[in-house]
Chains A and B, each alone.
Chain A
Amino acid sequence: MLKLCLKDLLAARWFLLANMTVLLLYALQPYFSAGFIMAAGGVVVIAGLAIVFFLEDRDKTEILTLSLPVKRSAIVGARHLLGALFLAVCGGIVFGVIAPLGTVIRSRSDAAGLSRLLSIEAAVLFFVITLFFLALYLPLYHRFGFGRGTIVFLIAGIALVSLGAAGLFAILPAAPAPGRELGTAVIGSVRAIRSSLGTPLFLLSAVAVVVVPFAISLRLSLRFYARREF
């Protein structure tokens, strides 16, 4: 699986680097809130995978990959691993670079909002939500291929985000101003959940929430990809 990941990284390295740079440039703009930055991080994770899949689709290298001495299950596993790797890297950029850098270089009021990124709640929220979308994209890609899979994912993703946002506006205790403050309000709510559960149980629940959809995604992807014909 590692060899497959390295192959994809080698093929897409410059495109991925550009993708990450866009995230950095975007996130360091003074007018973006913590929620926007986390969302951008998530988009960059999915975009990273989409770049790899796009190159594979453009040059039809999937036929090459399937002709190499590897099992289909290893190919699917490698793609999930790659998604997790992009998530770790983007998570590192958002929480290890943007958040601390932002609090230093931004104005006092902006920095205060951004400092919410430097919390366990924000990190958990980022990883859970992004992994959920990864878990949605990967089976769709393995079922329909790059073009149709990405379109179906985008439609489903936009629908889910819209529904989620509408739901949050309805249930959050102090309804925030649309857009800008939603992320920080959600982080605040997650903080409340952490306080009521206690940190160890909160983290354990977060791991469970992440592992279950990802495992289902892997299983579905394996099933779909075993049936695909090239």
Chain B
Amino acid sequence: MEYALEIRNLSKSYGDFRLKDVSFSLPRGYIMGLIGPNGAGKTTIIKLVLNLIRRDGGEIRALGFDNLADEVEIKSRIGFVHDTPFFYEHLTLANVRKTVAPFYRDWDDALFRRLADEFRLPLGKRFKKLSRGTKMKFALAVALSHKADLLILDEPTSGLDPVFRRELLQKLSAFIQDEGKSVLFSTHITSDLERIADFITFIRGGEIVFSSPRDQILGAWAVVKGGPELLAAEHRALFKGHRQGAYGVQALTAAAGEVHRRFGRDAVVETATLEEIMFYMTKGNGHA
């Protein structure tokens, strides 16, 4: 299988944060959601891919190239949207384009104009005068205009209204229709990923919890609701985290079938959403 992004045993320490032996792969032609709570290490991974920070160990290959040895080649084929678009605030969008376009050999000005029309971007307006949504649209238009093979988006939807989020997700779905294009999409708004992601990588405290196809995750993970017997010592290993309230226990499991077999009608087993998985793994009283 060809990969758009392969990360092997990536590690990085700074301050009191450590990224520990992170490994995952994004096959070409797919969208991967990188989820995790704030401070989990999502942005650190993206910064390491773009060489904004130095890694302590491990390997990163993007589109078949090593991200250190072939940095220029990789970056010319990656489109990026940072959580805050970093463009010159006092320049008009038309001039911002002039500061970026010359660096890309495959820059397609006609495509940029088309996207600008589609996103209703005011090219004569200064960047600082735009709303956050319009700034993100502009960053996306720039990222798409050099015909990137891999799009890397770091929290592009945070703080944006649902209309734009939906528009962005549609754009990303359309982007990967072109064979061989891939997207790595970091977010903590997990509902976005349930719509479009093919793979989900969950990172917590600098460690990968899982990296699997979305359908496999949503098929295996479940929230179990039942009585206190769920937390009996012989069952605890089934659960990754739980919440205990006045009306019973809710617990997260990655073995929905086994839970069903053990508890039968004594427990309600419901497919877990990504948000629930993230919540229980982060805040729930963990067992595993």
List chain A positions with a Cβ less than 8 A from chain B: 3, 6-7, 10-11, 55, 58-64, 66-72, 227, 229-230
Chain B's closest residue to A60 (CB) is B86
Interface 9-mer from B16-24, B44-52, B241-249: B44-52
* Cross-chain contact A229 with B86 (CB below 8 angstroms): no
Q: Which of B54, B80, B88 makes the CB contact (< 8 A) with A61?
A: B88
List chain B positions with a Cβ less than 8 A from chain A: 14, 47, 50-54, 71-76, 80, 82, 84, 86-91, 95, 98-100, 102-104
* Cross-chain contact A68 with B95 (CB below 8 angstroms): no
8 extra A-B contacts, CB within 8 A, seeds A229-B14, A229-B52: A10-B91, A11-B88, A55-B90, A61-B87, A63-B86, A67-B75, A71-B71, A229-B54
* Cross-chain contact A230 with B87 (CB below 8 angstroms): no
CA distance A3 to B84 in the complex (A): 24
Closest chain A CB from B35 CB (angstroms) = 22
* Cross-chain contact A10 with B103 (CB below 8 angstroms): no
**B82, B90, B99 — most chain A CB neighbours (10 Å):** B99
* Cross-chain contact B87 with A68 (CB below 8 angstroms): no
- Residues in chain B near residue A59, CB distance under 8 A: 86-89
* Cross-chain contact A67 with B80 (CB below 8 angstroms): yes
- Residues in chain A near residue B54, CB distance under 8 A: 227, 229
Closest chain B CB from A18 CB (angstroms) = 13
* Cross-chain contact B52 with A68 (CB below 8 angstroms): no
Closest chain A CB from B255 CB (angstroms) = 41
- Residues in chain A near residue B52, CB distance under 8 A: 63, 66-67, 229-230
* Cross-chain contact A11 with B80 (CB below 8 angstroms): no
Chain B's closest residue to A226 (CB) is B54
CA distance A72 to B14 in the complex (A): 21
* Cross-chain contact A55 with B82 (CB below 8 angstroms): no
Closest chain A CB from B114 CB (angstroms) = 22
* Cross-chain contact A229 with B50 (CB below 8 angstroms): no
CA distance A11 to B47 in the complex (A): 25
CA distance A11 to B72 in the complex (A): 23
Q: Which 10 A-B pairs have the closest CB atoms?
A: A69-B76, A69-B75, A229-B53, A64-B86, A230-B52, A68-B103, A7-B99, A60-B86, A63-B86, A11-B88
